[in-house]
Amino acid sequence: MDLRARAECWIAADPDPDTRAELRALVDSGDEAALAERFGARLEFGTAGIRGPLGAGPGRMNRVVVRRVTAGLAARLAGEPEAAERGVVVGHDARHKSLEFAQDTAGVLATAGLRVHRIPGLAPTPLVAFAVRHLGAAAGVQITASHNPAADNGYKVYWSDGAQICTPLDAEISAAIDALDPDQVVPVARADDGRIADLQVGLVDAYRNAVLALVSPAGAQAPGSKAREDLRIVYTPLHGVAAPLACQLLGQAGFTDVRVVDQQAQPDPDFPTVAFPNPEVPGALDLAMALADTTGADLILANDPDGDRIAAAVPVDGRWQTLTGDDIGCLLAEWLLSRGERGPNRAVATTVVSSQLLRRIAEAHGVGYAETLTGFKWLARAALQAAAAGGRMVLAYEQALGVMCGTAVLDKDGLSAALVLADMAAAFKAEGRDAAAALDELARRHGLHLTEGRSLRLEGPQADTIATAALLRLRKDPPANLAGVAITSVADHAAGTRTLGGGQVQALSTPPTDLVALTLADGSRLQVRPSGTEPLLKFYFETVEAVAADEPVSAARARAKARLDAQAEAFLEAAGV
């Protein structure tokens, strides 16, 4: 079937007038290139689900694709014990088409005989992850593209354990989608089908109670209550859906001075005040910093549009310093491990592309430590494994501003992380110090771990070739040194091997993934991988610098920065980008 004929078939089956009109215009204009882009290949179901730009055809996110993905998910769920009665949680954020996609998801699941626990209104992603385990559901679906550009949307899947799906489930669901008749019109139940029921407010209450348990109770006589009242917070949801729950949590914990950035307070799928709705991107916190300057704030907190990521900034020497994901993760780990229930059964975890500082913190506290591949689908598995062995995951984080405090939510949760960060900041203020001083203390104790990330956006017909060539060059012909420092090992995570300087080969314990990591004799680590959710080639750099007893940490930081910059440039040159 040629492109025009395939487009005509799609138009006939598409329930969405917007994408029907899009395709009709392309067919009538004879735009073969645009049709080929939409019908050349379908979006791949993989990392926790599916994500991509909105538009018509199997190569875009649209209602036909969502229905087919849901039919494949329902087919896979048919093999799970009592899945029909346990049902599936369905939620959605405020992106374009999110409501329609959620309605289609619920309708397809109901037609397949599965109960649907629908979260009414807009839902932050952590609430969906929490709901799966809270309700004992067979699975969960959140319609979101998290921090992707406004033109994107996605479909995120959780399994019965409350964690994002991973191998082999992703491949099994993908196979079930492929097994569908390509000409089949997926049936969808009506919105008032008896198998679809809205969840009541008890779910939100249960989530709030679980998160509030991470900090001491609020109240006039409660420890730290005055410190919380004294902390001035500026908060922004970046036009997303997290603000109502975030503000409720902070208020119930006793934080009474919370200012929300007005221009970004309401959900808006166009994200008009930011170039990208990602708090990692420079400029995303500019409005929050402006408000913080006028209100004399002590702390800036930001969530991404679906509420699963956390960003923070603190005042340092009269200007706002944005904390990195490694800063936040290591500060919170030290804070949580230093307080509350002690014991050897505690554990922390992070990913291979995050800072090595967390390992040092874990060793100092005598707790378990795990290092996984990138993504919370792996960090959640580490938490489940710790629990199975009688342990308890205190914190897991990844450098891309993802934090999991405790295990009420087995995924990154920017809402609970915001609350614990605020609690820590309030205590620091009461003690006459701040987050910057706490980071300096960690540097003196464990060495200054300086990290930096860079991303190369891959666009055009050569995008895949650039990424493949860069990783192949490092695998086949790695340099002997970077900026004059010898390379002691090359880890090829796709092959599952680490090659040492003398040629000795070791097996890696992590599952295969497209990542290459170089470790240097000075403790530096430089890594590269393609993003699993965006057209990016992502680079991760870390160097470690000792801090002398009689020198300011800033001097060690300057040395580390100079060394990191030189090694990073040499690494990029070795990768050919």
Residues acting as catalytic residues? 146
Rounded Cα distance between 355 and 351, Å, is 8
- Please give the structure tokens belonging to residue 26: 């392309």
> For residue 366, what are the CA distances in angstroms to 27, 348, 349, 360, 396?
65, 11, 14, 10, 16
> Any idea which residue has 């300096």 for tokens?
440
Kindly list the distances between the CA atom of residue 316 and the CA atoms of 268, 299, 438, in Å, as whole numbers in the listed order.
32, 11, 12
- Nearest CA to 132 out of 173, 94, 164, 174 is that of 164
Amino acid sitting at position 121: G
Taking alpha carbons only, the member of 224, 542, 252, 214 closest to residue 395 is: 214
Of 504, 502, 466, 506, the closest CA to residue 486 belongs to 502
Q: CB-based burial of residue 169 (10 Å sphere; 0-12 exposed, 13-18 middle, 19+ buried)?
A: middle
Question: Could you identify the residue written with the tokens 């006028």?
Answer: 294
Q: Which of 200, 192, 105 is nearest to 144 (CA)?
A: 105
Contact (CB, 8 A) for 207 and 246: no
Closest C-alpha to 283, from 291, 275, 294, 292: 275
Asked whether 229 and 251 are in contact (CB, 8 A), the reply is: no
CA neighbours within 13 Å on the CB side: how many for 270? 3
- Is-contact 415 126, C-beta < 8 A? yes
Per DSSP (E only), the strands in 265-418 are 299-303, 310-316, 319-322, 346-351, 368-372, 392-398, 402-405
Residues recorded for the chain: 577
Cα–Cα distance, 404 to 325 (Å, whole number): 12
Q: Which helix (H) or strand (E) holds 542?
A: strand 536-545
β-sheet bridge partners, residue 517: 491, 527
Do 161 and 138 form a contact (C-beta atoms < 8 A)? Answer: no
Instruction: State residue 17 phi and psi, 5-degree precision.
Output: -65, -25
Q: How far apart are CA 374 and CA 160, in angstroms?
A: 21
